[in-house]
């Protein structure tokens, strides 16, 4: 018995050691800053079409990889909501100073499903005054700067989903799927279980085979129901328990899709300051260009805006800038079906990749040579 216990104990020690070394190696690899990783990742995934890149530099098509391949946008789609917010504010259809109750926003907040974005936004507000409401403009800020899904779905309600999807037509994008309430979509599995008395395994199969039109319709129905009867805290906890990785993959794969060709055209419009009128930019720029709040960015940039997105399987980035030498840059990057380490390394290196492209001519030429189809 002692020998058996000693052997088992020894195996346990080895297992802990291996796991410990694995975590250390993972952190070491992920924490290494290397913009070249993104270049090599794109090169290695061109053929499987899990990655797409479009770069314009000074109105020249600098790099194009799978630009007509539709991929999930994740939170990058919130750019469309921000545009409609600014247009309605400019037209006097909404009041950006209208107060919105934080409690009202909780209608669309599902804890532990947004990477802590909504809580981070709340923490970033001036809590010294113990506020319980914020202007609508701050809701829009939180949607872009912190990527609050709750704020996004609330704005879908205020602005009107039909109006938001009309933006796609006005922008003349060709391969952009319509927006729908994607936080509400998280509840579809429970809705199915309750309706059809399905097991988790049966629900997963039903979700995987569901037509996209039905999926969007169900998400909108849930969204409208929550407006009158929000989930209780206990119901939100139950929802969290249904979100296995397999179910999250279904949700991620069904997020709104578009192409980098679509988004490079949108970014060019934002960057030109000519497509939208001055009154729209009065409301749009404070939301989209929060990078310019940093004094160091104002030293060398005229303007710059961005919105990224991610799930456990997706990373996307849409970025535009004009520097004080007059150079204009637009970059759209979408990646799907990522492993945990790929997602982490892309996230770690994206900012350095963008910065190096803006400031390093040799790196720009390197990308032009390596990443063109």
pLDDT digits (tens, 9 = 90+) for 150-180: 999 999 999 999 999 999 999 999 899 999 9
pLDDT of residue 11: 36
pLDDT of residue 28: 55
Strand partners, 318: 307, 332
Higher pLDDT, 20 or 30: 30
pLDDT of residue 193: 94
Give the C-alpha separation, 78 to 81, whole Å. Answer: 5
Is residue 17 predicted with pLDDT exceeding 90?
A: no
The domains found in the chain, sorted by start residue, are 30-73+258-370 (3.40.710), 95-257 (no CATH)
Tell me the pLDDT band of 119, cut-offs 50, 70 and 90.
Answer: very high
pLDDT digits (tens, 9 = 90+) for 235-275: 999 999 999 999 999 999 999 999 999 999 999 999 999 99
Q: What mean pLDDT is predicted for residues 114-143?
A: 88
pLDDT digits (tens, 9 = 90+) for 32-49: 789 999 999 999 999 999
Q: How much is the pTM? A: 0.91
pLDDT of residue 32: 75
Place of tokens 């209780």: 232
The helix, strand and coil proportions of the chain, stated in percent and rounded to the nearest 5, come to 60, 15, 25
CA distance to 34, 144, 165, 257, 330, per residue, from 147 (Å)? 25, 5, 19, 18, 20
pLDDT of residue 363: 97
Q: What is the mean pLDDT of the chain?
A: 91
Dihedral, 149, 96, 165, 116 alpha carbons, nearest 10: -10
pLDDT of residue 15: 43
Using a 10 angstrom Cβ sphere, with 0-12 exposed, 13-18 middle and 19 or more buried, the burial of residue 241 is exposed
Is residue 16 predicted with pLDDT exceeding 80?
A: no
Q: What mean pLDDT is predicted for residues 185-201?
A: 95
Is residue 339 predicted with pLDDT exceeding 80?
A: yes
Give the C-alpha separation, 123 to 146, whole Å. Answer: 11
pLDDT of residue 5: 28
Q: What mean pLDDT is predicted for residues 318-330?
A: 98
Is residue 19 predicted with pLDDT exceeding 90?
A: no
Q: What mean pLDDT is predicted for residues 301-322?
A: 97
pLDDT digits (tens, 9 = 90+) for 59-114: 999 999 999 999 999 999 999 999 999 999 999 999 999 999 999 999 999 998 99
Tell me the pLDDT band of 373, cut-offs 50, 70 and 90.
Answer: low
Asked if 100 and 154 count as a contact pair (C-beta separation under 8 A), the reply is yes
**H helices present in 244-329, as ranges:** 245-253, 260-272, 278-288, 295-300
Helix (H/G/I), strand (E/B), else coil: 174: coil
Above pLDDT 90, what percent of the chain?
87
pLDDT digits (tens, 9 = 90+) for 194-214: 999 999 999 999 999 999 999
Is residue 23 predicted with pLDDT exceeding 60?
A: no
Is residue 10 predicted with pLDDT exceeding 60?
A: no
């Amino acid at each position: 018995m002692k020998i058996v216990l000693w052997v088992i104990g020894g195996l346990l020690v080895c297992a802990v050691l291996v796991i410990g070394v694995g975590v250390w190696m993972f952190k070491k690899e992920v924490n290494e800053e290397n913009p070249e990783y993104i270049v090599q990742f794109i090169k290695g995934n061109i053929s499987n079409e899990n990655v797409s890149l479009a770069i314009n530099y000074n109105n020249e098509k600098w790099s194009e990889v799978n630009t007509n391949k539709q991929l999930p946008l994740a939170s990058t789609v919130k750019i469309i909501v921000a545009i409609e917010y600014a247009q309605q504010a400019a037209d006097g259809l909404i009041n950006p100073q209208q107060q919105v109750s934080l409690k009202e926003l909780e209608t669309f907040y599902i804890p532990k499903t947004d990477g802590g974005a909504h809580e981070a936004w709340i923490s970033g507000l001036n809590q010294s005054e113990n506020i319980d409401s914020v202007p609508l403009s701050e809701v829009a800020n939180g949607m872009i700067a912190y990527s609050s899904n709750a704020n996004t779905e609330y704005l879908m309600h205020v602005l009107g989903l039909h109006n938001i999807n009309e933006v796609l037509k006005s922008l003349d994008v060709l391969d952009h799927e319509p927006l729908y309430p994607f936080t509400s979509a998280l509840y579809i599995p429970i809705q199915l279980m309750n309706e059809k008395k399905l097991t988790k395994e049966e629900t997963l199969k039903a979700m995987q085979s569901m037509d996209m039109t039905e999926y969007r319709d169900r998400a909108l129905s849930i969204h409208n129901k929550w407006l009158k009867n929000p989930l209780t805290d206990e119901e939100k906890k139950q929802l969290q328990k249904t979100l296995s990785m397999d179910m999250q993959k279904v949700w991620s794969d069904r997020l709104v899709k578009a192409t980098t060709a679509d988004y490079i055209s949108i970014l060019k419009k934002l960057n030109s300051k000519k497509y939208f009128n001055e009154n729209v930019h009065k409301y749009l720029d404070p939301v989209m260009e929060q990078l310019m709040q940093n004094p160091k960015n104002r030293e060398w940039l005229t303007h710059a805006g961005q919105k990224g997105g991610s799930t456990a399987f997706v990373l996307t980035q849409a970025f535009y800038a004009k520097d004080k030498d007059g150079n204009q840059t637009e970059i759209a990057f979408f990646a799907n079906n990522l492993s945990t380490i790929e997602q982490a390394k892309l996230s770690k290196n994206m900012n350095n990749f963008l910065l190096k492209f803006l400031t390093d001519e040799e790196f720009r030429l390197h990308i032009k040579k390596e990443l063109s189809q």
